[in-house]
Amino acid sequence: MKHGINQRKFNRTSKHRLAMLHNMSMSLLDREKIITTLPKAKELRPYVEKIITVAKMKDNLQGRRILYSKTKDKVLVEKLFTILSKRYKDRNGGYCRIMKYGFRKGDNAPLAVIELIDRDIIAKKKLS
């Protein structure tokens, strides 16, 4: 019996899996929308939502250090505290949306779009 198994393994080592989640979460927080496989998107959602919750709750030096240890990017930490924490100050969780996107052509893997709720589309066009 498979009791107490909390996460998907993705046929990767634990270091590889954590690095994959870290990279995907940084891309999602930076671009606010990414396309990936459905199981990876489902595994990524709680990882990202915990980061945004820390940015909302702890706007002090301790919170910045916690997020810098998770992200390793000062620009992204600043974005979390200035833009995203203000955007989600009235929302109690549920910062990400997962929508099915079809199937990948090569191996027929189910694809999904994971995006932040209420993302700023105009600001993204200005950056491009």
CATH of the domain at 75: 3.90.1030.10
**Residue 6 belongs to some domain of the structure:** no
Query: 3-class DSSP state for residue 47?
Result: helix
* Structure confidence at residue 86 as a pLDDT band (50, 70, 90): very high
In angstroms and rounded to an integer, the radius of gyration of the C-alpha atoms of the chain is 16
User: For the residues 92-121, what does the mean pLDDT come to?
Assistant: 94
* pTM of the predicted structure, to 2 decimals: 0.88
Q: What is the mean pLDDT of residues 93-122?
A: 93
> Is residue 2 situated within a structural domain?
no
| Domain housing 67 | 14-127
DSSP secondary structure code for residue 60 in this structure: S
Structural domain contains residue 5? no
Question: Does the pLDDT of residue 2 top 50, yes or no?
Answer: yes
